[in-house]
């Protein structure tokens, strides 16, 4: 389970609960939610995202601290906390164990944190093969796909593609944050928030031109590496 999947799940849950207004500034800046409440909500959400990047051993305690310090004064915020605990945090009963979705080890080993490369391959296969191919047609196409993959593999030995600069910068930033945490310079909670910001989570409001009105959508950019 890639970290980006966790991010999407959190975003969908926030939208379903109608809590987007605590995270997004209205287009006309006319909001009954104070700057303090929005700051509190941002830390609440950033911590939820950052759990995927911090050491697994501190995930549960970090979220407990977050619930104590930054949970919104709204009954639906409690629902989100309960959802996170029952789905991802409580090791005795959660749907997805921390070892499945936490990518801290991948960060340490400089490995991909998302499954974008797998999605790219699946898209290629979907485009190369008919939707319901006959078995004989599949047999004809498989050698072509095999030859293409062999060519791509040989290409990597001749010319290694450079990763995008943004990924390099994010990797370096995450490495620095983890080093600071290991030295005790930042707390578990600070690490979660800082890692979340490092991978470029963005909270923005989209505008619905068709009906000339705004609606709440959380968009995020999670490092493509």
Domain limits, the chain: 3-111+165-215, 116-158
CA 75 to chain centre: 25
Is residue 167 within 8 Å of 225, Cβ to Cβ? yes
φ/ψ of residue 208, rounded to 5:
-90, 95
Position 221 confidence tier, pLDDT thresholds 50, 70, 90: very low
Is residue 214 within 8 Å of 26, Cβ to Cβ? yes
pLDDT at 170: 83
The rounded distance, in Å, linking the Cα atoms of 105 and 54 is: 9
| 183 class by beta-carbon count within 10 Å (0-12 exposed, 13-18 middle, 19+ buried) | exposed
pLDDT at 25: 61
The structure tokens 């801290």 sit at 104
Mean local confidence (pLDDT), 62-90: 91
Q: Full-prediction pTM beyond 0.75?
A: no
> Picking from 13-27, 116-130, 135-149, which range would have the lowest pLDDT averaged per residue?
116-130
Mean local confidence (pLDDT), 162-170: 63
> Picking from 37-51, 56-70, 146-160, which range would have the lowest pLDDT averaged per residue?
146-160
């Amino acid at each position: 389970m890639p970290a980006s999947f966790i991010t999407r799940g959190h975003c969908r849950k926030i939208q379903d609960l109608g809590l987007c207004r605590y995270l997004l500034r209205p287009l006309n800046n006319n909001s009954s939610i104070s700057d303090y409440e929005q700051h509190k909500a941002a830390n609440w959400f950033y911590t939820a995202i950052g759990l995927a990047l911090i050491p697994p051993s501190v995930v549960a305690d970090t979220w407990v601290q977050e619930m104590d310090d930054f949970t919104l004064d709204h009954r639906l915020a409690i629902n989100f906390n309960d959802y996170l605990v029952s789905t991802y945090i409580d090791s005795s009963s959660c749907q997805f164990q921390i070892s499945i979705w936490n990518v801290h080890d991948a960060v340490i080993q400089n490995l991909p944190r998302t499954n974008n490369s797998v999605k790219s391959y699946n898209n290629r296969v979907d485009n190369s093969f008919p939707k319901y191919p006959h078995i004989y047609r599949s047999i004809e196409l498989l050698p072509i796909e095999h030859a293409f993959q062999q060519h791509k593999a040989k290409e990597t030995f001749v010319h290694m593609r450079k990763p995008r600069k943004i990924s390099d910068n994010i990797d370096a930033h995450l490495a620095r944050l983890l080093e600071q945490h290991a030295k005790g310079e930042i707390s578990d909670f600070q690490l979660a928030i800082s890692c979340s910001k490092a991978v470029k989570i963005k909270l923005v409001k989209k505008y619905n031109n068709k009906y000339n009105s705004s609606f709440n959508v959380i968009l995020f950019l999670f490092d493509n590496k």
